[in-house]
Chains A and B, each alone.
Chain A
Amino acid sequence: MSDQDPGGPIANLKGEGHGHGLMTPMVPSEYVGRHLADVDGRRRVHPLTPLIHGLRIIPIVLLIGFSTANSFAKTGDARFLAGVLVVAVVLIAPITGLQYIAWKRLSYFFDSAGDLRIDSGVLQRHERRIQLSRLQAIDVVQPLAARLVGMAEVRIEVAGSASKATLQFLTVGEATALRSEILARAAGVRHDAGEAPENVLVHVPAGDLVLSLALQAHVWFFLVVTVLLVVVTVLSSGPAGLTLLVVAGGAPIFIVFSEFSKFFGFTLAESPDGLRLRHGLLQTAAQTVPPGRVQAVGFYEPLLWRRRGWVRVKINVAGVKSSDQGSGDRAYSESVLLPVAPWPVAIAVVSRILPGVNLQALEWQSAPRRARWRSPWQWRCLAVAVNDSVFAVRGGWLERRTCLVPHARTQSLRVTQGPYQRALGLASVHVDSTPGPVGITGHCRDANDARELAEAQSDRARLARGAAPPARWLR
């Protein structure tokens, strides 16, 4: 480890013998350290990168064009078009120029300890070391601008670090190769073994996705808001006002569209280096969740999905430590395991990703009848169940949820009681899991049952932890 310490007289001496073309012993020590660590050579991101950064602002140019189109329509199309072009060049050229300098100064390599290093920065140099032993997840993402020219970015997430490390941009082939190289190095196997084979578990058809969105109340709410906005605008300022609507009234419909676009073509696959989630219409993402990182699973059923037997599956993935729970952006990126799937498929997938976990033989114990005074809407659905491997809770009224956590993944337990619950002799049991969308709370149990449940769960969790095999990277 000490030989990658940038600087110090020892590093300086060693550096001379390393044969990486060091100039003189007079080189500043930080450069010596960097050359020392360089084992497989430095690599650069793709030379088209600056241009992609420039192209990213095209939507803004188009927006300006659209919103000013009306006032320019009289003066003639050619001049208007020329104006838009000038604006585009004026905005894109400096961005591209700056990004070109940034590109020249950015490089990445694997150091002698096997960790990934990213050096970047124009005025202020930034040397980042990504400890692969603490790798949490790795995504290959294609934003729209990059996708048009066949490029992708690689996002790397490490435990205990607040922000993702991002490499922009590589060709799609390079990006996937880099991903498998990082995963292989993290697992300690040969890194030139190539992409691990994958086995597609589920593909969500576009028709199902559209229908599933159409069967959700909030989607209708947004659509109605959009229609109202259009009607009000046309009534108040005539059809001409519609151009303004692109900016003002587009938000609700945009929310609906972005949900569709995010989950379009959702494919869940399994490979030795983890779960692969691919999805996206305009921006495509390929996320990899290493095995054994799934902590809790939640099944969500909106009212209108029940007749079709559909369910959305979300997961908690072990991530950053509780001390920086605030970094919400991470998180929730790989939290949707399946945007919509029939129950049997969802169950089959969950049994695959939680190996050795038994989802059968759950005997639901409903909340006592007096819970209806505390939770008048959801009391019928409230229940908890325990079997030899999971603790499960059920609840919800319009949207039903079923959440479960394997005994071995139980963190801590809480029993809580508010004044109203006390008057009714009720209490809630919480099983704490790592930060994520799935919360495991058994609401409104009989107070004595609640404590016994928590105590028993504490014992079950301890036994399961003792028996559980150590988390392994590759199986």
Chain B
Amino acid sequence: MTKSSMTQQVFRPPNEHWTPVSPRMASARRVSLVIAMAPFLIAVVVLAAVEIPRWIPMSLLAFTIVVAVWAWWLIGRRVRSFGYAERADDLLVTSGIMFRRLVIVPYGRMQLVDVVSGPVDRKFGVATVQLHTAAATTDATIPGLLPQDAAALRDRLAARGEERTAGL
């Protein structure tokens, strides 16, 4: 068994039904990336206008482009790495490329399910579902859901949580 397929098996058990997140999230993240890169481009223009050696703005430009291209590519992979599986008694969330993780949240432990959507996300029509338990470290976040899917998932999770809720 190759190393990558083994990792696949650990963090994305193949016998579950995994729901991927919308590829629209990649577009949203890439727009955020361009916005984040804008100050660097402005810096390049300003540096090019003042009396300093040419290579300083040029190397900054090259650096910015390399980072942007790398991040552009990484965003695509990262979005594909997200997935969730609703099982009978718990929710599985998997994500990450470099740092992989699999979160198991029992429905009975959920205290709060949030749907949040920032301005860029709203433009692209995606929303994020966040699960909270009594533990601060839970960190179960499913980004890149279509708004109607996010709302439906929230309602399903809330209903299951209510059925199985347990005290602390």
Interface residue B139 (Cβ < 8 Å from any Cβ of A): yes
B89: chain A residues within 8 A (beta carbon): 458, 462
In angstroms, how far is the closest chain A Cβ from the Cβ of B58?
32
Report the minimum CB–CB distance from B137 to chain A (whole Å). 5
Give A169 Cβ to nearest chain B Cβ, in Å: 33
Q: Closest CB of chain A to B162's CB: distance in Å?
A: 15
Q: Are B103 and A450 in contact (CB under 8 A)?
A: no
Contact status A427-B135, CB under 8 Å: no
| B136 cross-chain contacts in A, Cβ below 8 A | 322, 325, 434-435
Contact indicator per residue, chain A 412-434, by CB within 8 Å of chain B (1) or not (0): 11111111001001010010111
Q: Is the interface of B mostly helix, strand, loop or mixed?
A: mixed
Contact A417 B11 (CB under 8 A): yes
Distance of A321 Cα from B140 Cα, bound (Å)? 16
In chain A, residues 156-179, which have Cβ atoms closer than 8 Å to a Cβ of chain B? none
Q: Which residue of A lies closest to B166 (CB)?
A: A465
- A325 to chain B: which residues have CB within 8 Å? 136
A374: chain B residues within 8 A (beta carbon):
none
Q: Please give, as numbers and ranges, the residues of chain B lying within 8 Å of A412 by CB-CB distance.
A: 103-106, 109, 133, 135, 138, 140
In the complex, chain A residues whose CB is within 8 Å of the CB of B104:
412-414, 454-455, 458
Residues of A within 8 A of B134 (CB): 318, 321-322, 411, 434
Q: Which residue of A lies closest to B101 (CB)?
A: A416
* Residue of A323, A412, A427 with most chain B CB atoms under a 10 A cut-off: A412
- Report B114-142 residues with CB < 8 Å from chain A CB: 132-140
The docked-state distance in angstroms from the alpha carbon of A471 to that of B103 is 27
- Verify if A197 is at the interface (C-beta below 8 Å from B): no
**For chain B, which range describes its interface: under 10, 10 to 19, 20 to 34, or 35 or more residues?**
20 to 34
Chain A residues with CB under 8 A of B102: 414-416, 451, 454
Name the B residues within 8 Å of A318 (CB-CB): 134, 168
The answer to whether B98 has its CB under 8 Å from any CB of chain A is yes
Chain B residues near A462 (CB-CB < 8 A): 89-90, 106, 108
Stretch at the interface among B1-9, B39-47, B66-74, B147-155: B1-9
List, in ascending order, chain A residues with CB within 8 A of B7's CB.
417, 422, 447
**A413 partner residues in chain B, CB cutoff 8 A:** 103-104
Give every chain A residue within 8 A of B108 (Cβ-Cβ). 462, 465
Number of A positions contacting B (CB below 8 A): 40
- Contact partners of B140 in chain A: CB under 8 A: 412
Report the minimal beta-carbon distance from B93 to chain A, rounded to whole angstroms: 9
Closest to A433 in B: B135
* B99 and A451 within 8 A (CB): no
Question: Contact check: which of B3, B105, B139 meets A425 at CB < 8 Å?
Answer: B3
Q: Say yes or no: is A448 at the interface (Cβ < 8 Å to chain B).
A: yes
Residue of B nearest to A418 (CB): B99
* Distance of B6 from chain A, by nearest CB (Å): 7
In the complex, B100 has a CB within 8 A of chain A: yes
Given contacts A414-B101, A416-B99, whether A447 and B168 have CB atoms under 8 Å apart is no
CB of A196 closer than 8 Å to a CB of B = no
Q: Does A180 contact B (CB under 8 A)?
A: no
The 17 listed contacts between A and B (C-beta, < 8 Å) are: A323-B132, A411-B135, A412-B140, A414-B104, A416-B101, A417-B7, A418-B98, A425-B6, A432-B135, A432-B138, A434-B134, A435-B135, A439-B137, A451-B13, A451-B102, A465-B108, A470-B167
Q: Identify the 4 closest CB pairs spanning chains A and B, nearest first.
A: A432-B135, A325-B136, A411-B135, A413-B104
Interface residues of B (CB under 8 A from A): 3, 6-7, 9-11, 13, 89-90, 98-106, 108-109, 111-112, 132-140, 166-168
Interface residues, chain A, CB within 8 Å of chain B?
293, 295, 318, 321-323, 325, 409-419, 422, 425, 427, 430, 432-435, 439, 447-448, 450-451, 454-455, 458, 461-462, 465, 468, 470-471
Additional pairs, 15, CB under 8 Å, beyond known A416-B100, A447-B7: A295-B168, A321-B111, A325-B136, A412-B105, A412-B133, A414-B102, A414-B103, A415-B10, A415-B101, A417-B7, A422-B3, A422-B100, A451-B13, A458-B89, A465-B108
